[in-house]
Amino acid sequence: MNVTQATRLVAEREIRVKLRDRTFLFGTLFFLLIAAAGTILPPLFSGGPSTVAVTESLAAPLRAAGLEVRVVPDDRAAEQAVRDDDVDAAVVTGPAVLAMDDAPDDVVKALSTQPTVRLLDPDAVDPVVAFLVPFVFAFVFFLTSQTFGVQIAQSVIEEKQTRIVEILVAAVPVRALLAGKVVAGAILAFAQIALIAVVSVLGLQFGDSGGLLTLLAPAIGWFVPFFLIGFVLLAAMWAAAGALANRQEDIAAVSTPVQLAVMLPFFAVIFLNDNATAMRVLSYVPFSSPTAMPLRLFTGDAAGWEPIVSLVILVLAAGAFLLAGARVYEGSLLRTNGRTSLRTAWRERETIG
C-alpha cells in the first residue's frame, strides 16, 4: 500500500467515524438553523407593506408606492377603519395620516416629496454590511478551524491512549496517518461550511437581498481556496499538538501556540478591518490571509494580482507547516510515557512506518 492509498484509507475512516458522531451531526444542524433564522426571519418579522384606508382622490401616490390601498367613501370611514383595526393606517384630507399607536413610515414616505439625491460614491459599502462581513468571514474561519482542529487533536490523543496507534502505524505510514486526518478534517469542514452557505444564500434570496449576494460573490469565490489551504495549515499544527500530549487533559497546555495562531488573527481582522495598512499586512500573513484578503476584495481595496500572491504565500506556508508537523508527529506519536516536549519530538524523530 503506497502513501496515497493509505492516506485515502485513513481519511475515509475518519469521515465515517465523524458522520456517526451525533455531536457533529447535531452541531451541523444547529449551525444550519442559525443560518436559516438569520437570513429568513428578519424579512418575515419586518412585515409587509401597510394597508391604508383612503378616499379615491388620495389613492394614486399610495398605489404607486406599492402599498395595499382600501378605498373608503369619506374621511370618517377611513378613521373608523383604523379604529376597527381593519387597516394599518388611513390618509384623510389635508393630507394627514391616521394610525393607532405607531407612525407608518412607508405611508409617510409615499406621501412625501423627496428631493433629488446624487450619490458621490455610489459603490460605497453600506456601513452595517461593512461591519458584518469581516466579522462573518473571521468567525467562520475561526470557529471551523477551532472546532475541527480540536477534534483532530482529540482523535490523535485517543488513539495514543488506547494504543490503537501502534496497530495503525504497523499498517500505514505515519505521514499517511497524519495526511488522512488533515484531509478528512478539511473535507468535513468544507462540507459543513458549504451547507451553511447554501442555506444562507437561499435565505438571502428569500429576503430579496440579491444585491448583497452580488457584492459578496467575488469575496466568497476567493474565500474557498484560502479557507481550505489555511485549514490544512492549522490542521497540521493541531495534529502535531495532539501527538505531543498523552491525555485529553493535556490538550490545553500543548495547543496554546495553535490557539494563539487562530485567535490573534481573528481579533486582528475584527478590530483592524477599517485600517487599510493593517489589513494589507494581514492579507499576506498566512494565519490571517484566509479572512483578510477576501475582505479586502469585498471592499475593493485589493488589486487583481494581490490575492494570487497571497494565496501562493499561503500554499508555501501550509507546505512548510505540513512538513514540520509531520516531523513532530512522527517524533511523538508512539511516546506514551507522558507529555512530549516539542524539542524532543523534533530532534528524536522515530523511524517508523
Q: What is the pLDDT of residues 267-305, one digit of tens each?
A: 888 888 888 889 899 999 988 888 888 888 877 788 888
One DSSP character per residue, 13-33 reads: HHHHHHHT-HHHHHHHHHHHH
Task: Name which of 18-27, 164-173, 255-264 the model is least confident about.
Answer: 164-173
Please determine, for residue 227, whether its predicted confidence score (pLDDT) is greater than 80.
Answer: yes
Please determine, for residue 130, whether its predicted confidence score (pLDDT) is greater than 60.
Answer: no
Please determine, for residue 121, whether its predicted confidence score (pLDDT) is greater than 60.
Answer: no
Please determine, for residue 124, whether its predicted confidence score (pLDDT) is greater than 60.
Answer: no
Q: Which residues contact 97 (CB under 8 A, 6 or more apart)?
A: 89, 90, 91, 103, 104, 107, 108, 111
Q: What is the percentage of the chain residues whose pLDDT exceeds 70?
A: 77
Strand partners, 53: 70, 90
Higher per-residue pLDDT: 341 or 124? 341
Please determine, for residue 46, whether its predicted confidence score (pLDDT) is greater than 60.
Answer: no
Distance between alpha carbon 273 and the CA centroid of its chain, in Å? 16
* C-alpha to C-alpha distances, 211 to 129, 198, 291, 312, nearest whole angstrom: 12, 17, 22, 31
Tell me how far apart the alpha carbons of residues 203 and 194 are, in angstroms, rounded to a whole number: 14
pLDDT bracket for residue 310 (50, 70, 90): very high
Tell me how far apart the alpha carbons of residues 75 and 45 are, in angstroms, rounded to a whole number: 31
Please determine, for residue 119, whether its predicted confidence score (pLDDT) is greater than 50.
Answer: no
Higher per-residue pLDDT: 229 or 248? 229
| Average of per-residue pLDDT values in the chain | 76
> What is the pLDDT, as a whole number, of residue 353?
42
Please determine, for residue 225, whether its predicted confidence score (pLDDT) is greater than 70.
Answer: yes
Per-residue pLDDT tens digits for 57-93:
767 776 776 677 778 888 888 788 878 878 777 777 7
Per-residue pLDDT tens digits for 160-207:
777 777 777 777 777 777 788 888 888 888 888 788 777 777 766 665
What is the maximum alpha-carbon separation in the chain?
Answer: 94
The arithmetic mean of pLDDT across residues 12-40, rounded, is: 78
